[in-house]
A and B are shown apart, each in its own frame.
Chain A
Amino acid sequence: MPDPETGPARAPGPDPVSDPAPERATDGRARLLGALRRPGSRGQVVAAVLLAALGFAAVTQVRANGRDDNYVGARQGDLVQLINNLSLASQRTETEIAQLQSTRDALGNDTEARRTAIDRAQEQAATLGILAGTLPAVGPGVRVTITDTRHGVGTNQLLDGLQELRDAGAEAIELNDQVRVVAQTFLQDRAGSGILVDGTVLEPPYVIDAIGDPHTLATGLQFARGFADEVEGVGGKVSVKELGSVEVSSTIRPEPPKYAQPAGTR
């Protein structure tokens, strides 16, 4: 490559080490400062343009390098695994699409449509009712008994227990066969023994009925340093029974909300 700036015909520039400093009227530093104060010479503009290009390219390259491969560390085997997962997910989605398409077609056909719509709506109402706590539910699950002779168990432990159960897939939860636990359920400590759940006093021992996969629920509560250990740490004891059928019979009276409305995006 041609040596920059001194041009091909010239001898290589003065060797700064062995030659004496070139005798100019002003030295390099002064010249630089002079140029900084005097903008607008053609040379400067040219330099500006090229430097802009350099800056742009450099920044772009740095980004590209940083952002690039999500798969930098992945080995051949990992990539193949990822591809398999993706095709599985695609298959599942395709099945759902096919199902929905047939449902949509059924809904398009007039007389069938109304019956189909009502059937679907009833199923949805059942699901939502269980979620919102307005309908009772049954299914496999666990019955968790928490004894609390030292009155150490409070809302902290129970709230943790509820999170664990939800994390383990609990679909319906009931406390002491009296209070249904839903999203809006709140717990309060009270002086003396017992706690308040949605305003209702519950005394120990606390019994939690939860519907879900019994083994997953039980494991979720009993793993080391988890809920069971936490309760024991405050003087209580947890016993979990996996059951083939648990009934969550208490319900919540449906009340129309005062402030919340459906946000229509029709």
Chain B
Amino acid sequence: MLLAFGLLVATAGIQTARSADESATSRASLIKQLNSRKKVLDGERAQLQRLQAEVATAQKRDLQATRAGRSLQQRLTRLGLAAGTLPAKGPGIQVVVDDARGARSYQQQVQATDLVKLVNGLWQVGAEAIAINGQRLTSLSPIRDAADAITVGFSSLRRPYRVSAIGNRDTMGADLLDTAGGRAWVTLQSTFGLQFDVETKESMVLPAAKAPSLRSAHLPPRLRGDLPQGGPADRGTG
């Protein structure tokens, strides 16, 4: 009796183990595949970053070897700083804005256009570089409202919004309140309770934006090859 029972159990067990629940395992295996591919992609991205750093260092070293190279390097640094593709450090102010406490309507929440006005005001009072929650602003960075959050340059931001601006930390704060953007924020604060706070900072580091590749815009042909004063032999990219 016991033997028969034992056989029954064993067979059932083996049967099930073989034709294991189809949908569950195939879905589980898909998920496993997904996770492992993600890991592979992450590894590749890390490798890419390392390579980019290596190439940048190698390029710098090679540029240092010639006078043309050195002046190019300086120009690249200046341009990178202005364009936002190089990290920048310096004194300045940090404006932290946030929704009203316990905000319920959209008027009590920070909208993209509010940030745009704030940033406009900061440039007006002499900011030299601005980043919002670590996203550096470049001439290609839009500030938009997306479904649930504000996006800067296609990165979603979470409140509170820290707008860091490098510049004259003694004057920017006061001057900001004189600009249309500053005044708009004072109104937002008093009418809707949005939070607005300005801090001076002795030194901030603003990260770089990813260097974009331009797909449509290029130099007018009359300028190609006429770039930075190089050595006589350097007739550019053509």
Contacts and interface: CB of A to CB of B under 8 A. Distances in A.
Interface of A: 69, 71, 76, 79-80, 82-83, 86-87, 89-90, 93-94, 96-97, 100-101, 103-104, 107-108, 113-114, 116-141, 155-156, 159-160, 163-164, 166-167, 169-173, 181-189, 211-213, 247-249, 254, 256-263, 265
A141 B63 CA distance: 35
B77 A262 contact: yes
Given A104-B55, A113-B58, 12 more contacts: A103-B55, A118-B72, A121-B69, A131-B84, A133-B139, A137-B218, A163-B112, A171-B214, A188-B180, A254-B82, A259-B168, A260-B129
A265 to B, nearest CB: 7
A140 B216 contact: yes
B45 interface: yes
Interface residues of B, number: 90
B107 interface: no
B139 A79 contact: no
Nearest to B129: A260
Interface centre among A69, A107, A265 (most CB of B within 10 A): A107
Given A97-B48, A124-B76, A166-B141, A118 B219 contact: no
Given A86-B34, A159-B116, A166 B44 contact: no
19 contacts: A79-B31, A83-B37, A90-B44, A114-B65, A118-B62, A118-B234, A127-B212, A128-B83, A131-B85, A159-B120, A163-B142, A172-B217, A183-B84, A183-B141, A211-B216, A213-B216, A259-B166, A259-B167, A263-B87
B75 to A, nearest CB: 6
Contacts, number: 262
A155 B212 CA distance: 27
Interface string B1-37: 0000000000000000000000000110011011001
Contacts of B155: none
Given A104-B51, A141-B216, A262 B86 contact: yes
A260 B79 contact: no
Contacts of B215: 169, 171, 213
A132 B92 contact: no
A186 B113 contact: no
Interface of B: 26-27, 30-31, 33-34, 37-38, 40-41, 44-45, 47-48, 51-52, 54-55, 58-59, 62-63, 65-66, 68-69, 72-73, 75-92, 112-113, 116-117, 120-121, 123-124, 127-130, 137-144, 166-168, 179-180, 205-206, 211-220, 223, 227-228, 230, 234, 236-237
Given A83-B33, A103-B55, A118 B48 contact: no
Contacts of A261: 81, 88-90
A53 B172 CA distance: 56
Nearest to B80: A128
A256 to B, nearest CB: 7
Contacts of A93: 41, 44-45, 48
A138 B140 contact: no
Given A131-B138, A211-B217, A125 B89 contact: no
B41 A86 contact: yes
A127 B218 CA distance: 8
